[in-house]
Amino acid sequence: MDTTQQIKLPNQMEALIMAEDGSGLKLAERSIPTIGPREVLIKVAAAGVNYPDIIQAQGKYPAPEGVVQDIPGLEASGEIVLLGDEVTNWKVGDKVCALVAGGAYAEYLNIPDGQCLPVPEGVSLEEAASLPETYFTVFSNLVMQNRMKSGDTVLIHGGSGGIGSAAIAIGKALGATIIVTAGSDEKCSSCIELGADMAINYNKYDFESLIKERYDKVDIILDVVGGQEYTDKHINLLAKEGRWILLNAMQGANVKINLMKVMMKRIRITGSTLRSRSISYKTEIADRLKNTLWKKFKNKEIKLHSIKYYPLDEGKLAHEEMINRKHIGKLVLLPNT
């Protein structure tokens, strides 16, 4: 452990845990996490809320083996208060944000050192908690796996949510043309403000016909919807050698696909879950993000999405808001004062 700087830690911390009866979340006392040789301990300043947290709280998405099982939360920001024996790239007092596999809804959090990123210049410590989960997910899928480049046309569903907002920001920062769908005119306006080139209210318009009127092709589709209707539209919209990225299937996972169209267009279909991926892979994403995108916050080349804050003891309300799909941007939990 780091012996040059010691911060006195309490024996217990407050955490928002999964209720045993499956009713959601409740506050509880927990021991401060211990850390391994390549881990840091942070005092949490804020924790982002993501849809996988909701599924976990419902008992449908258990944390990977070796990760705390009853405390949700995939991202957080805070100040490092303790270092593992083999950590050389951080020091006590550094302010970071990080992707984790669970445990972020708490006052203290242990994190593999490679999954930490410095808080970007121009972004507050609390705002930084809204970045890791969506930026790791979107960057790894759009850029690392599917080679998004300047000049590509990208269709993003759920453009006003956390994933969608990050995809708009990353796509525009790297020179792509961005089309989004969202469920209201207000949400569409928020997407345009973030930089989207076209925003379509899917409750009013058929996105396939509107896109075909304005664009010759779609190179990449970031799909959190699934379902038969969207499947058919996606195959029709994608250009030859187009890439279709599946991150969720909210309208259904079992669909029929015209394989002849897929073959004729040479469409690449990929799926992704990040939580169970290795620490080394997540470290690679963190390094790539730091080197390509993090400086763009300082230069305002990336616009920060809208954020709504809740105290930790109102985490259940934050989950309800996300379930009802009323929010725009990200929801973030702050420690109780």
**DSSP output for 48-106:** EE-HHHHHHHTTSSPPPTTS-SS---SEEEEEEEEE-TT--S--TT-EEEEE-SS--SB
Q: Alpha helix (H) ranges present in 179-244? A: 185-194, 207-214, 228-237
In the chain, count of helices (H) and strands (E)? Answer: 11, 15
- CB distance 147 to 231 below 8 Å: no
218-223 vs 238-246, strand pairing mode = parallel
Distances (CA, A) of 54 to 102, 173, 297: 12, 30, 29
- CB distance 82 to 35 below 8 Å: yes
- pTM listed for this prediction: 0.94
Domain ranges (residues) in the chain: 12-130+275-334, 134-271
Q: Give every CB contact of residue 112 below 8 A, 6+ residues apart in sequence.
A: 38, 39, 279, 282, 283
**Tokens of residue 107, six digits:** 């006052």
Q: How far is CA 145 from the centre of its chain?
A: 16
Cα 210 from Cα 221, distance rounded (Å): 15
Cα 316 from Cα 74, distance rounded (Å): 16
CA 148-156-277 angle, 5° bins = 65
12-18 vs 25-31, strand pairing mode = antiparallel
In the CATH hierarchy, which fold is given to the domain comprising 134-271? Rossmann fold (3.40.50)
- CB distance 304 to 297 below 8 Å: yes
Amino acid 299: pLDDT? 86
Cα 290 from Cα 68, distance rounded (Å): 27
Cα 175 from Cα 151, distance rounded (Å): 6
Query: Up-side HSE of residue 17: CA atoms within 13 Å toward CB?
Result: 14
Cα 57 from Cα 21, distance rounded (Å): 10
For the chain (length 337 residues), average pLDDT per consecutive 10? 61 92 85 96 98 89 89 97 97 98 97 98 97 97 96 97 96 97 96 97 97 96 94 96 93 92 97 91 97 93 94 94 91 92
Q: Tell which CATH classification among 3.90.850.10, 3.50.50.60, 3.90.180.10, 2.30.30.60 matches the domain 12-130+275-334.
A: 3.90.180.10
